[in-house]
Amino acid sequence: MNVHNSNKETLNHLQALMRFPERAAELQKTFNAQRLARVLRARSVRPLFIPLSFLIENAVQATPFMDKTPRFNYPIVLLGAASDFSKNQEALTSIQVSIDREEILCITDDPVSKCHKEGFANSYQQGQGYFPKPILLMDGQRLYVDVFAPAGGGAAGGVKYRRNMVLNGQRIMPANSADVLLDAKERELVNAAIAARSVPVSKVISMRVQFPAAAAGSHVDVTLPTRNEPFLIRAMRSQTLAESTIEIGTARDKMWTTAPTPIWGLANCFVLSAPGSAAGVDGFWQFFETPFYISPNEDLTASFVSSSDNEVVLASFDQDGITGLQTPSWASAPQVNLGLGTDLLALEFLVETI
pLDDT at residue 180 in the model:
79
Matching CATH topology for 46-172 and 184-353?
yes
Asked whether residue 90 carries a pLDDT value surpassing 60, the answer given is no
The pLDDT value recorded for residue 136 is: 92
What average pLDDT does range 283-288 have in this prediction? 79
Q: Where are the domains of the chain?
A: 46-172, 184-353
> What is the SS3 assignment for 248?
strand
Which class does domain 184-353 fall in?
mainly beta
Mean pLDDT value across the chain: 74
CA–CA gap between residue 172 and residue 74 (Å, rounded): 9
* Confidence grade of residue 341 (pLDDT, cut at 50, 70, 90): very low
Mean pLDDT of 65-90: 82
Residue 237 makes CB contacts below 8 A (sequence gap 6+) with: 267, 268, 269, 283, 284, 285, 286, 324, 347, 348, 350
What pLDDT score was predicted for residue 347?
86
Q: Is the pLDDT of residue 276 over 80?
A: no
Return d(Cα 59, Cα 82) in angstroms, integer.
24
Give every CB contact of residue 111 below 8 A, 6+ residues apart in sequence.
Answer: none
Ramachandran category for residue 71: left, alpha or beta (phi over 0 → left; psi -120 to 50 → alpha): beta
Residue 159: predicted pLDDT = 58
105-115, pLDDT tens digit by residue? 664 445 454 55
Class of domain 46-172: mainly beta
Dihedral angle of Cα 12, 14, 18, 23, to the nearest 10 degrees: 80
Q: What is the mean pLDDT of residues 272-282?
A: 44
- Count CA atoms closer than 13 A to 286's CA, side-chain side: 26
